[in-house]
Structure 1
Amino acid sequence: MTDTLPDIEVRGQRRREPAEPFPERPEPVVFEGQHAELDPNIGQELDPCADPATALDWNADAAAAEAKREFERRAADMGDDGLYTREWHAYVYQNASGHMYLGPVSYGPPMGGMVTPNTSGMTPDNLIGSVHNHPGGSMNPSGSDWQGFDGLHSWVSAYAGTARADQMRLYIIARDVNDPNSQMSIHVFDKDSNRNSDSPAEDVNPDGQPCP
């Protein structure tokens, strides 16, 4: 009898272990010659951008990566020590056509460990999640982070439905404080994430790009 390994669900542009490569979109399948008549959609089920359900995670992760780059750019303009000086925050929104974009970026005082999010333009129908950094803290959400997430989840659920609310993501940018050589990385959470502060988080590709 041959043992079969369980399927591992790949969501978004994420890896479970630091040594793993980040997921990549497959190259398009092109049939030529005697195979030219084959269905060009063969193999497209492997492309996360081919299905709106999987494209949502892919594009949300890309928006989080964009937020990290934007935070770093602005931090450099202000003369900060990367993302170690202050807390930065932005919401991730999705318009009616499915395109994801960042809301206004806000930041806190140096070494203050806090930031007041800018909710301009937020509606229950466009909110996908939020991105912020922990300058010197945990890679996992704090208690207040979860409290804020739960409040927004309830708000979206009440006005746009539970299914819409369950699409929300919480992204934390932080380094592993147990590893002095670690760099700032992006970690993703949702309503079903283990809220144990010691549980490992999925790592998001900082160079992630959205679906074309």
Structure 2
Amino acid sequence: MSDVTTVEGITVVGQRRVASGLGFPIRPSGGGGGGGGGGGEEENTLPDDPNWGQPELLVQDPCASPASALAWNADAAAAKTTRDIEAFATSNFPSEQGINDREYGAALWEMPDGSIIAGAVRASEFTFFEAAQILREDQNARVSVELDWSPPSPGAVHWGTIHTHNMDAFLPSGNSYSDGDQGVLTYSQNLREAQKPGAGSQASLYVVARKPGSYEALGPTKIVHYDQRNRDDAISGQEGSEVNPEAQTCP
């Protein structure tokens, strides 16, 4: 059973932008969080929004298939967890610039009902500035967030991870499958395969960062998805697919 939908030659997986000039996929019922412009201006949508004026991509209902619903729900979980991480950052480190100053992350879990939820949000011990100082002194040091890998409840199966980078850094770290963020994705694949044989390649890694903004302010938050299908491209320097920041779960 496939987790993709093909619409007029365009392959759609989850709630991710599939081509330049198109907004995010939406379900026939209009669900999926919008954010694609829809040909008209919506509340809180400005002309300089990257989605403004871009036609939404209407897809076959992904919620009709358990496999495609899983990818749809995973992207929705990434969008929700991103908002939770930003709230966590504001609450715990109010003097910092949210996710732009420190690395945050969480593990994602598939529940028996097909929903995807996040485990506990964790923050790195050091800010990105402090981490740079440490790495200058010790090139072998590894400065990152330590994720909580504990399943949130019985029956939960590992899906993947989500973590933040500093501004405009949307590629996963690592030049091989065993290094940096790529190594984390490999661990997620192995863990998912052990818990759900045959499904290891579905494991996903979401990277979240702020887009570049003006001198006075950071740009909006952007979520980028990686899995087995595009991890080699990422090592080559090709950015993954952008996830709808307003993605919604299947009803």
TM-score (norm 2): 0.68
- Name which of 120, 138, 141 aligns with 1:104: 120
Query: What are the Cα deviations for residues 71-103 of structure 1, in whole angstroms up to 9, with x where unaligned?
Result: 111111121212101001011101112121111
- Name which of 64, 85, 88 aligns with 2:104: 88
Task: Spell out the pairing of 1:196-211 with structure 2 (5 A cutoff).
Answer: 196-211=235-250
Does 1:135 find its partner at 2:151? no
- Letter of the structure 1 residue corresponding to residue 116 of structure 2: M
CA distance in 2, matches of 1:50, 1:179: 42
CA distance in 1, matches of 2:88, 2:122: 10
- Whether the 8 Å CA contact 2:12–2:18 is kept in 1: the answer is no
Deviation at 1:174, TM superposition (A): 1.8
Q: Residue 7 of structure 1 aligns with which residue? A: 9
- Whether the 8 Å CA contact 2:62–2:72 is kept in 1: the answer is yes
Moved over 3 A (4+): 16-19, 122-125, 175-182
- Whether the 8 Å CA contact 1:12–1:58 is kept in 2: the answer is yes
CA distance in 2, matches of 1:167, 1:125: 15
Q: Which has the higher contact order (CA 8 A, sep 6+)?
A: 1
The structure that is strand-richer by fraction is 2
Does 1:116 find its partner at 2:143? no
CA distance in 2, matches of 1:124, 1:199: 35
CA distance in 2, matches of 1:159, 1:55: 20
Task: Spell out the pairing of 1:35-184 with structure 2 (5 A cutoff).
Answer: 46-77=60-91, 78-79=93-94, 80-108=96-124, 109-111=126-128, 112=131, 114-121=144-151, 126-136=157-167, 138-143=169-174, 144-161=180-197, 163-176=198-211, 182-184=219-221
Which has the greater radius of gyration? 1
Q: Residue 41 of structure 1 aligns with which residue? A: none
CA distance in 2, matches of 1:189, 1:124: 25
CA distance in 1, matches of 2:28, 2:9: 18
**Larger displacement relative to structure 2 (190-199 or 72-81):** 190-199
Q: Which residues of structure 2 form unaligned runs of 5+?
A: 1-6, 31-58, 132-142, 175-179
- Name which of 18, 24, 34 aligns with 2:26: 24
CA distance in 2, matches of 1:199, 1:70: 27
Query: What are the Cα deviations for residues 29-64 of structure 1, in whole angstroms up to 9, with x where unaligned?
Result: xxxxxxxxxxxxxxxx81111111111110000000
Q: Residue 54 of structure 2 aligns with which residue? A: none
Q: CA RMSD in A?
A: 2.7
